[in-house]
Amino acid sequence: MAKLRKEFDSIFLIPAIIFVIIAELVPVFYTTYLGFMKWDIINPPKFVGISNYIKVFTRPELLNALKNTLYWVVGTLIFAVGFALLIAVLLSKIKGKIIFKSIFFIPSTLSPTVAAIIWRRTLSSQQGALPSLLSLFGAHIQPILTNTHINTFVMIGVWTWQFFGINLILFLVGLETIPQEPIEAAMIDGANQRQTFLYITVPLLRPIMLLVIANSLINTIRMFDIPWVMIQGGPGRASETLAISLYRESFLLFKMGLGSAIAVVISILTLLASYRYIMILGERRG
């Protein structure tokens, strides 16, 4: 009877399974299918094999987008994650840290689009707030957003400014939950602050670090909002990321097959970046 009831209960999972298939699996398989096609929406899709995927890694503008995406990933790990961890460690040892937490968290309440608009109007060489302010003192700065050598790094700075606060708070929460006994025991045994941080604090912070790193990597690999709103991946296509290339190829140039191939590449990179976190989360649930 219990077995029959258990099998009957599983029937209620059918609507959820159907929803997952329709909402998630069908788009994934259809996008992968289109990645092997040449399709301009008007004419029927034409099978072209892996040529779209070859273009992703051979066309100069797409290689540049891949390089810029890598810059975003590395910049995020260094500044939005690494710098947030460093400041969190420093703040955890002082009083009144609630003030600093509030100040740093304010930018995180904005959407990436709003943050991009604010900084675009601040840095724009045409009536931007910063150039206009400097001109009052007789100083002039070179255009920033149209400078292909630095604009990607400036936009990474905007991303760091926005999401630094939330990473900082997550690290502070993790530091507050760490038991002090292992740290005190290590210091009694002669370990210095650097050794206790590397060999005790960091391992105990591992769950929070995995969460922050995985979330940051996923968001930066599919980064679209900030570079598109600030300068639309320009000048030209110099600061494009893979997500902007996907949008441009699919919805502006109507190369749906190539856009689908880029989408598949982004998905694979995202899965690889979050693989460790997903595995550890699965082990815990098990």
Encoding tokens for residue 196?
A: 């206790």
Is the pLDDT assigned to residue 269 strictly greater than 60? Answer: yes
At a CB cut-off of 8 Å and minimum separation 6, what does 181 contact? none
Q: What is the pLDDT of residue 103?
A: 85
- Mean pLDDT (the chain) is 83
| 241 vs 274: which has the higher pLDDT | 241
Name the DSSP class of 38. E
In angstroms, the CA 185 to CA 78 distance is: 30
Q: 218: closest CA among 171, 182, 172, 271? A: 271
Sequence spans of domains, the chain: 36-285
- Looking up tokens 């941080």, which residue turns up? 197
pLDDT of residue 6: 57
The domain made up of 36-285 has a fold known as MetI-like fold (1.10.3720)
Furthest-apart CA pair in the chain: how many Å? Answer: 87
pLDDT in tens, 72-100: 999 988 888 888 888 888 888 787 778 88
